[in-house]
Amino acid sequence: MLYGPCLKRHAMLSVIVGAMVFSSTNSFAVEIDPLPPSFSISDPINSNPSAAGTLPREGRTSEPSLMPALPVVDEEKPRTSSVGEIDHSQHNTGLGAHLHHTHQLGDWMFEYRTKASIHEGILDKSTQVLTTSLVGTNLPYSYAPTKMTRTTHMVMGMYGFSNTISLMGMMHIVQNNMSMVRHDLTQDINLQMSTQGLGDTFLGVMYRPMSFAMFNLIVSVPSGAVNKEVTVNQSKFVGPYAMQLGTGTYDFMPSASISYKLGAIGINAEAMYTYHLGKNNQDWALGDEIKASTWISYSPLKSITANVRLDVNQWAKIEDTAPGMTSMSPNYDPKNTGGMNTNIFFNVSGMFSGVMAGFEWGMPIYQNFKGPQLKTKQQMTLSLQYMF
């Protein structure tokens, strides 16, 4: 099992921290190839064979290689283009890896992105479940969810503290909409609920000790509400877990990534663990999560990159010792949380004169849940970055 006693969590954190300490004191060539959430990768160093180094991008990852180690990033001065501007081509790593790169000393990057995820239909384990088997006379629930959309707007700033260390901050605005159904004897009653507002805030540090390896530590600050109310038929009550805007806890998200680039092709991999510290002020906590990603990138031009990424995610059940309204709907019951999925993503991004725009689309290829839950149908992301 990926989740267990705290010892397993601490062991995971110790492995990542140990790898970070080892890599900062040793120079070696890695010869591996990665494995496959929530979060992707693209080549970091040496996106341009003529450049001194390059880096990945998202909040998770870089990748291994069966080839010789990549050259070390130039720590003396930032790379420049033929017109004397800073060359940010190494950051064109696809939407699945926007936290997997660092910047040169004094460089800034600002990014806006919007992500939409659509969930429709119910799975229990990996089996499709009809709402009529959950809602009705002598059945456990009064309502069942049929569809949910979550749109997240993210604004991020990143600063090159040194040529190997970058600092970042990110804020989220979250919009949730959910459709539910009730089956009465003579008719079906459809209901709508929605929540929106400020989500959690991320603060992080990215460290690249070598050209092909990177380590991140992101801390999530609980700025999003976890007691958001919804209005249904003129009645107000606290929304289900999935409709809340944050986790309500301080979350630690260490990750390690490795990458290799051969000409126009990059191979990358990353692993990330999310640890929720304690419970929130509503006396519940999301289950810890582990993610693994691997992706291949292709850059026909220095300014254009396409990626195919595979993500594998597993998350534990919500811990709630005194849940309320569990008979109202499956998504109010903490027993119906936890599971795993595997997703495939396709994205393309282009960078021109310091500005990068990108689009990504993804869908699940496998989902397995602990109890009836809405399944993911598709995810889409648009982004715009400006670097100077």
The string of pLDDT tens digits covering residues 110-133 is 999 999 999 999 999 999 999 999
Spatial separation of the C-alpha atoms in residues 358 and 29, rounded to whole Å? 32
- Whether the Cβ atoms of residue 96 and residue 296 lie closer than 8 Å to each other: no
pLDDT at 73 over 80: no
210 contacts: CB under 8 Å, gap ≥ 6: 23, 27, 69, 70, 72
Quickly state the pLDDT bin for 96 (edges 50, 70, 90): low
- Residue 18 burial (10 A CB sphere; 0-12, 13-18, 19+): exposed
- Whether the Cβ atoms of residue 64 and residue 258 lie closer than 8 Å to each other: yes
Quickly state the pLDDT bin for 29 (edges 50, 70, 90): very low
> What's the token pair of residue 14?
């110790």
pLDDT (mean) for 189-217: 95
**Domains in the chain: boundaries:** 6-387
Spatial separation of the C-alpha atoms in residues 58 and 39, rounded to whole Å? 7
pLDDT at 75 over 80: no
Structure confidence by residue, pLDDT tens digits, 269-312? 999 999 999 999 999 999 999 999 999 999 998 889 999 999 99
What is the CATH code of the structural domain delimited by 6-387?
Answer: 2.40.128.130
pTM (two decimals): 0.75
Q: Are strands 213-221 and 250-262 parallel, antiparallel or unpaired?
A: antiparallel
Which stretches of the chain are DSSP H helices?
A: 6-25
Share of the chain above pLDDT 90, in %: 62
pLDDT at position 352:
80
Q: Are strands 165-183 and 201-210 parallel, antiparallel or unpaired?
A: antiparallel
pLDDT at 3 over 60: no
